A and B are shown apart, each in its own frame.
Chain A
Amino acid sequence: MRMPRGSGRIVLVALLAALALALADVGLFDVGRLGRGVRNLGEFLRALFPPDPSTLPTLAEAMLETIEIAFVGTALGSLLAVPLALLASPILFGPAVTGPVKLLLAAIRTVPSLFWAIVFVVVVGLGPAAGALAIALYSLGYLGKLLYETFDGVDPEVVEAVWSVGASRAQLARYAILPEAANGILAQLLFMFEYNVRASSILGFVGAGGIGFYLIGYLELLRYDLLLTGLLLTLAVVILIDRVSALVRRTFLFPVSPPAPGE
């Protein structure tokens, strides 16, 4: 709908005023501070280069642990997310079931992974176990939502056809929803794993294992050259995982062919 010119102008002016107030409030109108910031940025960039490769073996080992945390966390999270997403799907259940399950998933999603990591460090102690459990719970919240939305997108005609044969809910899930949503499920799992590798790389900040422990250490010691080595290693691994994911997609996703003649 096209907004009337007069009220449109008022909204625009109000938005600009709100932006100006917010900028002032966060200190971005402080010219002296911004000038110092530019000088600090120059010093920071000088300190970053060249990256120091001497700690690469240590960082590689920590990176492997980060990938393990992401892998275990994604696997555990998805094991729980699939049944919960089915319970949250209106194709299978009424609002009395889907409502509480969606609320639970939303509540889990509200908490950042770093906070879950602190919780699990308290529960199981320092180390990658806490990280893996934090990532599992975090993945559960997100994957649960992504999956039930994927299930909702299943062709309703397929659902009706399988339901029509007298199938139970469990049979409908196994023979219609899961196979029809297989492409979407795999795509979401791969996305979650890629995301979790990045998320796991900061869990070490709170002692939950992985490369983050070293990154925060280099940051505190002002060893930005070592920090850059860690960041470049993380970038390389993320790119590698992206390539591997593309390969997995090409290999395992079933092609969606156009309807055959007569359809």
Chain B
Amino acid sequence: MGDPALRVRDASFSYARSHPVLRGVSFHALAAEVTMILGASGSGKTTLLKLVKGLLPPRTGEVSVLGARVSAPRRGRLDPRVAYIPQQLGLVRSLSALDNTVVGALSRIGTLPSLMRIPPEPELRHARELLGRLGIAHKADEPVQELSGGERQRVAIARALMQRPRVILADEFISDLDPLTSAEIMSLMREATAEGAAVVMTTHEMDVVREHADHVVVLRGGAVSLDVRGAPEAALIAQALRA
């Protein structure tokens, strides 16, 4: 068993004037493991990932990642060791696959080269290597909006890996992919865990859970209804979703 990469303790959150989205959520995810967060739409999965990333502050409770308490700065820099892949991937449409990948290295690039969009050569080389490892080196100079769904997913992963992450947070990013592409993407996530990263992803895909989950957390109505190591039986998950 690896070290706890992130820990959420009794975290609650609500958007202004709305019902609580998260209610007293507690769980921890280990390094070198894939933690899958399941739950119906509106159960608080995306909000939970944003709390862990520091994009939102918990109303109560505490979130710590890599041993440090996460504060949600309104506009300050966020921890680059925690990569976040949003549901729609958050790629910059007019930039090439290579430029989108280089975005992952921004915390290591100075202001002037950033403003001139001339990243240091080693970062460019590393970005090209990553795109090569992900099988899309030949698409490096194409705008991401001209790529297929699977290719865009790979660019988003390349951007995340470019951060040299210790934690990867991925929000339903394999939804609606065909089974083959989905399996390829998951094997890339597995490679990341093999290098010691903790992967925390939300999903609806039960097949993916069965094959790849080391740890499953089920959310229902903003609260944890199941937290088990390993891939639990589908019936247990279904019960937790209805509980």
**Which residues does A use to contact B, with CB under 8 Å?**
92-94, 155, 157-171, 174-176, 179-180, 182, 254-257, 259-263
Contact = CB atoms under 8 A, between A and B. Distances in A.
B91 interface: yes
B43 interface: no
Given A170-B111, A260-B152, A262-B152, A164 B78 contact: yes
Interface in B101-130: 103-107, 109, 111, 114-115, 117
Nearest to B152: A260
Interface of B: 50, 53, 55, 74-75, 77-80, 82-95, 99, 103-107, 109, 111, 114-115, 117, 143, 145-153, 156, 159, 162-163, 174-178, 181
A157 B86 contact: yes
A254 B79 CA distance: 32
Contacts of A167: 77, 103, 106-107
B145 A168 contact: no
Contacts of A256: 93, 145
A93 B76 CA distance: 10
B95 A263 contact: no
B177 A175 contact: no
A169 B106 CA distance: 11
A261 B177 CA distance: 7
Nearest to B84: A164
A160 B88 contact: no
18 contacts: A157-B87, A160-B55, A161-B89, A162-B92, A164-B83, A164-B84, A165-B105, A166-B80, A166-B107, A168-B114, A171-B106, A171-B111, A175-B103, A175-B114, A176-B92, A180-B93, A257-B146, A263-B152
A157 B95 contact: no
Given A254-B94, A261-B178, 9 more contacts: A155-B88, A158-B91, A160-B86, A166-B106, A168-B111, A170-B114, A170-B115, A259-B149, A260-B151
A166 B74 CA distance: 13
Given A164-B55, A262-B177, A263-B152, A158 B92 contact: yes
